[in-house]
Amino acid sequence: MSVDTIQSNKLKLLGKLTASLLHEIRNPLSAIMLNLDLIKYYNSELPPEVIESVDDCQKATERIEDLIQNLLQYARRSNNETDWISINDITRQAINLLIIRASKRSIDLKIELDDSVPKVLLNENKFLQVILNLISNAIDASHNKNSVVVRTLSSVIDEKQFVIWEVKDNGVGIAETDQQKIFEDFFTSKPDGTGLGLPVCKSLLEEMNAKLNFSSKLGVGSTFTISFPANNN
Ligand SMILES: Nc1ncnc2c1ncn2[C@@H]1O[C@H](COP(=O)(O)OP(=O)(O)OP(=O)(O)O)[C@@H](O)[C@H]1O
Ligand SMILES: [Mg+2]
């Protein structure tokens, strides 16, 4: 057995252990959350300092819950079924899921979908997960009342045809020193971020034979681009 195989078996085992540990943590965590809810129910009988510390505990437990959720998604080897899918349809689904979150900050989610892009062979859920993270990141980076534009198009690069999915924001942008770090596990600039969004996107897209690139300028904004090789079927 080669060193690489042993290494990859160890990683698989570690992944399984992590997933089961996370499930185990979840049960007591739910109990804590329920009890905190119960304490909050007696709000009017409690001094304000206690209410404040219960609020802090609730925020902390929600953060643990989010972390677990993301780690589980990261560890999980979900089904790998692929299909010929319209990326325009999945984009519309993603926009519907995020529109309320954007409108709370008066951010306009614009879509410019090219009806003629060919269908792509991919796993629908994984692609939805990827673009939900990319559009969420764009919303998070945007200033209130900005627009975020999501586009699809076909493009020919070096005589090969590609299907392109792109999200563009005019938000805070990414400092040059951070640009190499954003795909690292756990790199985040957000108080409630896990920093697993982009590494997960990258590995899911690699499974789907697609590439993820970005360009960004601090103070100007960012564009994240997915390119699929078009198979002309
Ligand atoms: N469109 C963007 N504009 C500016 N910075 C971005 C953008 N997308 C990603 N980043 C930077 O990359 C970091 C990592 O993003 P990633 O999606 O991996 O994690 P996150 O969004 O911080 O957390 P999570 O996705 O788990 O909620 C972000 O915290 C942010 O600093
Ligand atoms: Mg993210």
Contact 121, 87 (CB under 8 A): no
> With a 6 A CB cut-off, is 163 part of the ligand 1 pocket?
no
Mean pLDDT by 10 residues, the chain (233 residues): 64 74 88 93 89 94 88 68 92 93 95 95 90 96 98 92 96 97 93 88 90 97 95 56
Ligand nearest 140 Cα, by number? Answer: 1
Closest-lying ligand 1 atom to the alpha carbon of residue 187: 14
Residue 233: per-residue pLDDT: 46
Q: Name residues whose C-beta falls within 8 Å of residue 227's C-beta, 6 or more positions apart in sequence.
A: 155, 157, 162, 163, 164, 165, 210, 211, 213
> With a 6 A CB cut-off, is 214 part of the ligand 1 pocket?
no
- Dihedral angle sign, alpha carbons of residues 188, 194, 199, 200: negative
Q: What is the pTM of this model?
A: 0.75
**Distances from the Cα of 37 to the Cαs of 42, 48, 59, 61, 74, in angstroms?**
9, 16, 12, 11, 29
- At what angle are helices 197-207 and 124-141 packed, to 10 degrees? 150
Neighbours of 125 (CB within 10 A): 13
Contact 195, 188 (CB under 8 A): yes
The kind and range of the H/E element at 41 are helix 3-41
Residue 6: per-residue pLDDT: 65
C-alpha–C-alpha distance, residues 3 and 73, integer Å: 27
Q: Name residues whose C-beta falls within 8 Å of residue 191's C-beta, 6 or more positions apart in sequence.
A: none
Residue 230: per-residue pLDDT: 85
Q: Please count the CA atoms within 13 angstroms of the CA of 172 that sit on its side-chain side.
A: 11
> With a 6 A CB cut-off, is 70 part of the ligand 1 pocket?
yes
Probe residue for ligand 1, chosen from 194, 198, 204, 214 as the CB with the greatest number of ligand atoms within 8 Å: 198
- State in Å: Cα 133 to ligand 2 middle: 5
- pLDDT (tens digit per residue) in 128-139: 989 999 999 999
Residue 228: per-residue pLDDT: 94
Residue 73: per-residue pLDDT: 73
- pLDDT (tens digit per residue) in 4-41: 666 666 666 777 778 778 888 988 999 999 999 999 88
Residue 196: per-residue pLDDT: 87
